[in-house]
Structure 1
């Protein structure tokens, strides 16, 4: 039987390498975790995470000939909405700005401010109106009669709640064709 001898140098080198690897891992692991958590926090804020101070953009912008007529959705495949009234009603769903799981209080507190902008198709501002929403679910604004003549227009909206402000909705192009 032959006994194999291991050199002390080889064992010592292996032990030193193992200790060095453990030391490097002990130092770099917390740094890697810290960097990863910072990246995750930055991504969450960019995605509208819990630390984000902006309200979500209102959804489903739509337009109607009047407060009691059916609404046409903006961005529909059928083309831009056409209204036959000089005082159309603009509306948007604000459900996205109510915190998830909240219930409307019986006596609502401060209302959200909703800003409506109407421009000509060329970008000249016709209306800039700020209203308060009676609910956190929707907002509507009927333009005063005579505000718009025949032609092409566009509108958008956003919400303000205290010091926080949503992004604007995309422009909703529409045409007024009085009969």
Structure 2
């Protein structure tokens, strides 16, 4: 009498190859993505010149919004300046390039970066000069309080300070407050 033993189910060769190809693709992506991100970050950071004290790059992507939950309008659009419809807009900038390439964020809380916002009329009359500390090294945002701005044309800029070093100011971002 012949006893038949069951063979464990084996996937087809084509399915096995597809699984191996998928795993290999994921592994390559996992290695290539951090390298590409580091290269992109290094491309954004300005090169330091000999004897230059300033180690911090200028904050990037200044933007303005009607509120913290509304979409942002980027500054520097040649077609038109941003228009906000509230007296309490949110000003924001990206600081992620502040940490020099290759540095690691501290695991313990330490001194935070000081971020200074300036708002002027387009004629250059100061409206607000406020310094705050950023809870992250990636972004800084300031929501203006009611009564700070009336309808009209304004401009704002931002810079960051970390210890004794400061970045340059961003370019002025012109915007208009127009409450309907």
The reply to whether TM is greater than 0.5 is yes
Structure 1 residue 101: Cα displacement: 2.1
List aligned pairs for 1:22-171, cutoff 5 A: 47-49=47-49, 52-54=52-54, 55-171=56-172
RMSD across aligned positions (CA): 1.6
TM-score normalized with structure 2 length: 0.71
Q: Distance in 1 between matches of 2:51 and 2:162?
A: 16
Superposed CA deviations along residues 140-165 of structure 1, whole A, max 9, x for unmatched, are: 00001111000000000001111111
Q: How many residues align?
A: 134
CA distances 1:10-37 after superposition (whole Å, capped 9, x unpaired): xxxxxxxxxxxxxxxxxxxxxxxxxxxx
In the alignment, structure 2 segments of 5+ residues that lack a partner are 1-45
Q: Which stretches of structure 1, 4 residues or longer, exceed 4 Å deviation after superposition?
A: none
Query: Is the radius of gyration larger for structure 1 or structure 2?
Result: 1
Task: Give, in angstroms, the shift of residue 99 of structure 1.
Answer: 1.5
By how many angstroms is 1:76 displaced?
1.4
- 1-structure distance, mates of 2:134, 2:50: 24
Structure 1 residue 51 displacement after superposition:
5.1
1:103-131: CA deviation from partner (whole Å, max 9, x where unpaired): 32232310000000000011000000000
Q: Displacement, 1:50?
A: 7.1
TM (norm. structure 1) is 0.71
Q: In the aligned structure 1, how far is the partner of 2:134 from the partner of 2:53?
A: 20
Structure 1: give runs of 5+ residues left out of the alignment.
Answer: 1-45
Aligned to 1:21: none
SS for the counterpart of 1:153 is: strand
Higher normalized helix content (fraction of residues): 1
